[in-house]
Structure 1
Amino acid sequence: MHSNDVLLRRAVGTDARAAAGVWLRSFAAALPTVRCAHKEADVRDWFARVLVPRYDTWVAVTGNSVVGLMVLNEEELKQLYLDPTWRGRGLGDRFMDLAKKQQPDRLSLWTFQVNTSAHRFYERHGFIAVERTDGARNDEHEPDVRYIWQPPPAR
């Protein structure tokens, strides 16, 4: 199935459990060397109590399955995770287009330094690395990098 067969829509409360499942599977697949700082039950609770109701949360849905998620907090892209079976099918590109449409003036995000595939993805979409840290400020205590995207100046 191609990403064009997937609907991107705002998340509702009933999506929280499935979206948390995508997050957990994606984190494990994409970051095998990074210790997940939260128990599975806590991640699911966080999705249900915080991410879906309080943030601009979007899901990618095919049939009855959530296969991706994106969370924006104004200009900050807080989360972008795809089910591992959906990587490389254009779904991330669709989410990125949506993020830029929602926040056309600027986007910022953090990703782990070890996540080189994320670096390539974001850089391909025009993001520039602006800061690197030792990870002391994130829950995983994993070195990270901050990226910024801004549209090119109007001519």
Structure 2
Amino acid sequence: MTLPTIRPARSDEHDAIARAWMASWVSTGLSQASDSLLNDLRARLPREIAGGWTLFVADDRGSIAAMLALHLPSLLLDQLMVVPAYQGMSLGRQLLGFTRRQMPDEIWLKCVRENEKAWRWYEREGFVFEKEAPNPVTRFMMKHYRWTRTNRTSETKP
């Protein structure tokens, strides 16, 4: 099987990207699919892009297999969401490799503490736990991680 192609997202794909985002998030078991959640994600995409996101998709011959949102100025991997049908096929690893090419020296990310599958994967991929802090909007406790090319830790970024 050929892995999907990672490319910049187009504005006409926002609905499909929001659906992929919801499917991936729901697969964590931390939320249920709903029209309200989908509408929130649809509304969030243009706001986040205006706020600095660079948005990519994994395109499987016209189907959105994953979304990747990077905030390059702050070296933040903000969202890496793989549609359930594509999970377990190394697509996440492909997206992470792509991210490392965009931010080759340092990457920060936050992961919901209850999403153990995700944060354990990031730890296996060389990310180092820095701290926990609540998200003021969602109220989820977030685990903050950092990856550096040299895999050495230093002071926590503000």
Smaller-chain TM-score bracket: 0.7 to 0.9
* Divergent runs of 4+, >6 A: none
Q: TM-score w.r.t. structure 2 length?
A: 0.84
Q: Tell me which residue corresponds to 1:9.
A: 7
Q: TM-score w.r.t. structure 1 length?
A: 0.86
User: C-alpha separation between the residues in 2 aligned to 1:27 and 1:65?
Assistant: 18
User: C-alpha separation between the residues in 2 aligned to 1:118 and 1:33?
Assistant: 12
Q: Matched residue of 1:120: which SS?
A: helix
Pair 1:13–1:33, CA change in 2 (3 A): closer
| CA shift for structure 1 position 152 | 1.2
Report how many residues are paired: 146
User: C-alpha separation between the residues in 2 aligned to 1:115 and 1:141?
Assistant: 14
User: C-alpha separation between the residues in 2 aligned to 1:11 and 1:5?
Assistant: 17
Q: 1:50 aligns with which of 22, 37, 47?
A: 47
Q: Please, which runs of 5 or more residues in structure 2 have no aligned partner?
A: 152-158
Q: Please show how residues 1-150 of structure 1 align to structure 2 within 5 Å.
A: 2=1, 4-30=2-28, 32-34=29-31, 39-47=37-45, 49-52=46-49, 54-74=52-72, 75-133=75-133, 135=134, 137-150=135-148
Q: Which amino acid aligns with 1:73?
A: H
C-alpha distance after superposition, 1:11-38 (max 9, x if no partner): 11112111111111111111x23589x6
| CA shift for structure 1 position 97 | 0.3
| CA shift for structure 1 position 52 | 4.6
* Structure with the larger RCO, 1 or 2 (CA within 8 Å, 6+ apart): 1
Q: Which amino acid aligns with 1:39?
A: L
What percentage of aligned pairs have identical amino acids?
Answer: 23
User: C-alpha separation between the residues in 1 aligned to 2:131 and 2:32?
Assistant: 22
C-alpha distance after superposition, 1:85-136 (max 9, x if no partner): 1111010000000100000110001001111111121112110010012x2x
Q: Matched residue of 2:55: which SS?
A: strand
Contact 2:3–2:91, Cα closer than 8 Å, also in 1:
no
User: C-alpha separation between the residues in 2 aligned to 1:18 and 1:52?
Assistant: 16
Contact 1:34–1:142, Cα closer than 8 Å, also in 2:
no
